[in-house]
Amino acid sequence: MSTERLLSKHYEKEDVIGVKEKIQREFLHLKLLMKKNVKVSVRSWVSSVIELSSPIFFILILLIISKSPAITNNTTPVIQSINIPQCIANAEDRCFNLIVSPSNSPTVLDLMKVIAESNDPPLQIYQYSPETTGILPDLNMTMGLKGGIIMVPSTAAAFDFVKAHPNVTMGGIEFKTIPRNFTTYTHKQDPLVTTDNIVFNYNLLTNTSCPNFMIKCVDNSMSITMALQNAINIYQSKRLVLSNTPSINVTTGTFPVYQPTSNAVTTYGCLFFYCGPMISFIFLMYKITYEKEKKLKTGMIMMGLSGKMYWVSWFFTCFIINVIITNITIATGAASKFEFFLSTNFFVNFFLFFLFTLSMYQLGFLISSFIQTTKAAIGIGMTIFIVGSILQLIFSLLGPLIFQILYETDSKYARAARIILSAIPMYHFSKAVTDINSIAQTYQFTGVGFKWSDLTINLATPGVDIPQTAASLYSLFILSIVFSILAWYFEQVIPGNDGSSAPPYFFILPSYWGVTKKKIKHLPNIPQFQDPDVNNAVNYAHSDSNHSSVVIQGLSKTYKNLFNSKKDVHAVKFLSLSVEKGTLLGFLGANGAGKSTTIGILTGLIEPTYGDAIIHGHSVVNNISEVRKITNVCPQHDILWPELTAYEHFALFAELKGVPAKQREAAIQNAIKSVKLTSVAHNQISTYSGGMKRRVSVAIACIGSPKIIFLDEPTTGMDSQSRRHIWNLIKEIKKNCVVILTTHLMEEADILADRIVIMANGVMACNGNSLQLKNKFGEGYSISIVVKRPECIPEVKDMIFRALPASKLLSESADLLNFGFPINTPQDILVNFFKSIEEITLNQQTSPIRDWSVSHTTLEDVFLSVAKLKHL
Ligand SMILES: Nc1ncnc2c1ncn2[C@@H]1O[C@H](COP(=O)(O)OP(=O)(O)OP(=O)(O)O)[C@@H](O)[C@H]1O
């Protein structure tokens, strides 16, 4: 029967799992993984405390810096020059604002009406009295969004207004005297009118101060003067009874102005606020790569945990840590009385820190998909942190200037720099911090901090297209999404520790999304193998009458070399075999023989180039999730978290493997007893020896009545007593399932295996039980000889071949020689041989042999002779 037909026959057996069950399973996995993450975080509390308290640490440093005399001297804004603050709100039509005093002069009011009417667009005139509106009137409420002329009673009131609304008033006029002959009779009561003066006296105040580097400073004195002179002319021509034109005396006066102040937060805020999230970023990279390096992730997936939920659980864990760190940052900043935090809308700060941390986390996920070791993770994390710190310091000190240069210049370099910087979360973070700082630094005088609505205002000079603060937050959000997508993509495409990877175009394959089944490719013909038993096993695996629990058909795996196809590695070549329930298959082979690749394929970690394996009716290529439900694994590397106890491991895997809640405790206790760990079951794994950890791994592999168990060197590192105990346990559990055991201990395979397959260069070299293999590949007896020195080897070989002409050299390593000779060697030859070897070794001085022994052929001998043969 063709392989396709046989496979399709098997597929008929597949269970159709309902969507509801699938969702429930995914949620169960998420719950288990979240539990694990929380427990690990709680148990490794020192690192968790360091991670969560890092924002406190860095903000406290900033607080100490801010208290240093050098910085505090600089924190109070000084009235540096007496000018009218520059209006920065042109976009809201406020830049036509003039602040004019005194408001009790009817002539001044008339003049202002002329200016207001002749202005294009016309201005409105507002009366502002500190007594009625309070010291800090809301500009929007008082005068609407349009600009206008603000009449104030006195210069002092003008000062108050300017203090309340820095940078919205373009200039001011303080009238001092008005010539008597300039007024109409109705204005004789004007307090500014002087009888003996024909000079128009006023003080012109223009705002030439720049709130920050982002603002282009414009001197409006000329336009104000011209507007006023024009108004005087119009007024005079229309209404004056006198023909004399008054002379005008303009002076410049002083006005309070907010010079942007530098303080610890404006100077170093970008740097110190950035450090807390970055420490968490390094921790995250470490945690993810730790699970990768220790193959915990792979192990969990082999045991059936959902790969998707693995990432979702990390996402939620990061989300929780992010929310905690963000709130700690804001609370510490507020407790430190930094206006950056006190005056800014909570949600603005929340989103700023949350989105920055989120984007860094996603970048961490992305970078982690390229690296395999914690060393690399820490190295790269620290490098990013240091380079980022330098950037933050530069932005802290020169941020506004940099933004101005970047956005005012339209050179190709500026454009390129903008594009590059836009992909860097630190850049958006420092831009937003600088924006918030530019408002927060005047908070103590204005009482107005960074509001939610300020996210969308243009803090820069009109015409300079510097992005609004909201753009920085959007960018952080978009970067988070882009990094997540790239992390997901590269996680699939970059080969992991197990060497598995998806093709670069995997996302366009319908089979990736579960819409269709993967197309299984088969080699057209079943090849002929040298060994008849292997041929039989292969033919049976492809036969119609095969109903074994595990049926492997034509499994092949080629690791392609992208640059040179001659260097392609054919790790597994047409492996076909079947394993019945209740059988322990010893799967042996030298290093590089193809065992791990085969196990990787059977556990769904590696996609075969050709062929498939059907495990209890489920294809490993197309239905691996069902295979994993019934499969348990004891990988070479323990899937154990040092922070969890053995009990917690058993509980986790019992629930994962679907042990009903009522039977779970019994299953856990059973597992603990089976590997004799009762007294230490509640101790953390970090306190266990290597052998004890192996015992936990073996017990995990037995939990939940699996139908197939993969044991990869299960007894490595165990003492002989524990090893024998585990062997008994394995003998017990194999009764109800299939066990596939890979080991380098031939004694272990000999004792446990019902059937042994030895792989050599990717090919099944032999297949049979231990006795069959010994008879077939062994030489009856084997002599092991330890020579004194390597130079003695030729002499010893010569001696053995002379004494036992039918003997064969089985292996030769350092000073150990292994010969085999047939069981039917004539007795007299044997007697002579023993005599001569005894004589040689009697003389310790001259003998080239240090030690020798004779035994029946061992599996080791079989293994060594099989490794030498060519098999295809
Ligand atoms: N990701 C990979 N890319 C390229 N070649 C690989 C990859 N993984 C394994 N190989 C090659 O495939 C062959 C089989 O390797 P495999 O790991 O399956 O051997 P093994 O029998 O498990 O060896 P060991 O006993 O050392 O674990 C080896 O030649 C190995 O170098």
pLDDT in tens, 326-346: 999 999 999 998 989 998 999
> How far is it, in rounded angstroms, from Cα 223 to Cα 96?
11
Angle at CA of residue 524, ends 522 and 530, nearest 5°:
105
Q: Which atom of ligand 1 is closest in space to residue 495's alpha carbon?
A: 1
Q: Name the pLDDT band for 274 (thresholds 50, 70, 90).
A: very high
The percentage of residues in the chain with a pLDDT greater than 90, rounded to a whole number, is 35
- Residue 70's pLDDT is 64
Q: Ligand 1 mean position to 595 CA, how many Å?
A: 8
Q: Whose CA is nearest to atom 11 of ligand 1?
A: 571
- Residue 2's pLDDT is 45
Q: Which atom of ligand 1 is closest in space to residue 559's alpha carbon?
A: 4
Which of 14-18, 177-181, 640-644 has the highest average model confidence (pLDDT)? 640-644
- Residue 40's pLDDT is 92
Average pLDDT over residues 147-168: 74
- Residue 320's pLDDT is 95
Residue written as token pair 């694990």? 36
Two structure tokens written together for 102 = 């005194």
Q: Which atom of ligand 1 is closest in space to residue 594's alpha carbon?
A: 18
Q: Which atom of ligand 1 is closest in space to residue 598's alpha carbon?
A: 18
Evaluate if residue 637 carries a pLDDT over 50: yes
Q: Ligand 1 mean position to 840 CA, how many Å?
A: 45
- Residue 85's pLDDT is 37
pLDDT digits (tens, 9 = 90+) for 664-722: 999 999 999 999 999 999 999 999 998 899 999 999 999 988 999 999 999 888 888 88
Q: Ligand 1 mean position to 612 CA, how many Å?
A: 19
Q: Is the pLDDT higher at 147 or at 837?
A: 837
Q: Whose CA is nearest to atom 13 of ligand 1?
A: 571
Q: Is the pLDDT higher at 711 or at 251?
A: 711
- Its ipTM equals 0.97
Pocket of ligand 1 (CB under 6 A): 495, 499, 559, 569, 571, 589, 591-597
Query: H/E element holding 179?
Result: strand 171-179
Mutation to probe ligand 1, out of 591, 605, 759 (largest number of atoms < 8 A from CB): 591
Q: Name the pLDDT band for 396 (thresholds 50, 70, 90).
A: confident
- Residue 334's pLDDT is 93
CB 352 within 8 A of CB 471: no
Mutation to probe ligand 1, out of 597, 598, 636, 716 (largest number of atoms < 8 A from CB): 597
Q: Which atom of ligand 1 is closest in space to residue 742's alpha carbon?
A: 25
Q: What is the DSSP letter of 127?
A: E
Q: In 3-state terms, what secondary structure has residue 718?
A: coil
- Residue 118's pLDDT is 74
- Residue 196's pLDDT is 62
Q: Nearest Cα to 582, choosing from 737, 355, 370, 360? A: 737
At 50, the amino acid letter reads I
Average pLDDT over residues 367-372: 92
Q: Whose CA is nearest to atom 3 of ligand 1?
A: 559
Q: Ligand 1 mean position to 594 CA, how many Å?
A: 6
Q: Which atom of ligand 1 is closest in space to residue 499's alpha carbon?
A: 1
> How far is it, in rounded angstroms, from Cα 335 to Cα 540?
76
Q: What is the largest CA-CA distance in the chain?
A: 155
Evaluate if residue 222 carries a pLDDT over 80: no
Evaluate if residue 104 carries a pLDDT over 90: no
Q: Ligand 1 mean position to 569 CA, how many Å?
A: 9
- Residue 654's pLDDT is 94
Strands in 808-813's sheet, in edge-to-edge order, are 808-813, 816-821, 781-787, 849-856
- Residue 639's pLDDT is 83
> How far is it, in rounded angstroms, from Cα 220 to Cα 147?
15
Evaluate if residue 508 carries a pLDDT over 60: yes
Give, in order, the Cα–Cα distances in Å from 390 to each of 268, 275, 394, 424, 614: 11, 11, 6, 14, 56
Q: Name the pLDDT band for 251 (thresholds 50, 70, 90).
A: low
Q: Nearest Cα to 865, choosing from 573, 590, 591, 571? A: 590
Two structure tokens written together for 782 = 């084997």
Q: Ligand 1 mean position to 572 CA, how many Å?
A: 9
Q: Ligand 1 mean position to 576 CA, how many Å?
A: 19
Mutation to probe ligand 1, out of 295, 498, 559, 573 (largest number of atoms < 8 A from CB): 559
CB 477 within 8 A of CB 360: no
Average pLDDT over residues 529-538: 87
- Residue 95's pLDDT is 46
Q: Ligand 1 mean position to 546 CA, how many Å?
A: 30
Integer-rounded Cα radius of gyration of the chain: 42
The percentage of residues in the chain with a pLDDT greater than 70, rounded to a whole number, is 83
- Residue 136's pLDDT is 44
Q: Ligand 1 mean position to 520 CA, how many Å?
A: 22
Q: With b meaning 16 or more CB within 10 Å and e meaning fewer, what string describes 1-39?
A: eebeebbeebeeeeeeeeeeeeeebeebbbebbbbbbeb
Q: In 3-state terms, what secondary structure has residue 46?
A: helix
Q: Name the pLDDT band for 611 (thresholds 50, 70, 90).
A: very high
Average pLDDT over residues 18-32: 87
Q: Name the pLDDT band for 245 (thresholds 50, 70, 90).
A: low
- Residue 82's pLDDT is 29
Q: Is the pLDDT higher at 232 or at 119?
A: 232
Average pLDDT over residues 489-500: 78
Strand pairing of 193-194 and 569-579?
A: unpaired
> How far is it, in rounded angstroms, from Cα 176 to Cα 194?
10
Q: Which atom of ligand 1 is closest in space to residue 593's alpha carbon?
A: 21
Q: Whose CA is nearest to atom 6 of ligand 1?
A: 559
- Residue 87's pLDDT is 44
Average pLDDT over residues 377-391: 95
Q: Which atom of ligand 1 is closest in space to residue 572's alpha carbon?
A: 14
> How far is it, in rounded angstroms, from Cα 83 to Cα 218?
12
Q: Name the pLDDT band for 14 (thresholds 50, 70, 90).
A: very low
Q: Is the pLDDT higher at 242 or at 86?
A: 242
Q: Average the pLDDT over each of 153-157, 710-714, 816-820 and give the range with the smallest value.
A: 153-157
Average pLDDT over residues 565-577: 89
Q: Whose CA is nearest to atom 28 of ligand 1?
A: 592
- Residue 864's pLDDT is 80
CB 649 within 8 A of CB 43: no
CB 560 within 8 A of CB 615: no
- Residue 543's pLDDT is 84
Q: Name the pLDDT band for 235 (thresholds 50, 70, 90).
A: confident
Give, in order, the Cα–Cα distances in Å from 277 to each of 265, 282, 291: 17, 9, 21
Q: Is the pLDDT higher at 745 or at 447?
A: 745
- Residue 164's pLDDT is 65
Evaluate if residue 244 carries a pLDDT over 70: no
> How far is it, in rounded angstroms, from Cα 356 to Cα 267?
20
- Residue 648's pLDDT is 95
First to last CA, the chain: 23
Q: With b meaning 16 or more CB within 10 Å and e meaning fewer, what string describes 842-864?
A: eeeeebbbeebeeeebbbbbbbb
Evaluate if residue 797 carries a pLDDT over 70: yes
Q: Average the pLDDT over each of 422-431, 509-518, 726-735 and give the range with the smallest value.
A: 509-518
pLDDT digits (tens, 9 = 90+) for 747-768: 899 889 999 999 988 999 889 9
Give, in order, the Cα–Cα distances in Å from 252 to each of 173, 174, 221, 256, 431: 9, 9, 10, 13, 37
- Residue 19's pLDDT is 77
Evaluate if residue 176 carries a pLDDT over 90: no
Instruction: Write down the pTM of the prediction.
Output: 0.73
> How far is it, in rounded angstroms, from Cα 653 to Cα 543?
36
Across the chain, mean pLDDT equals 82
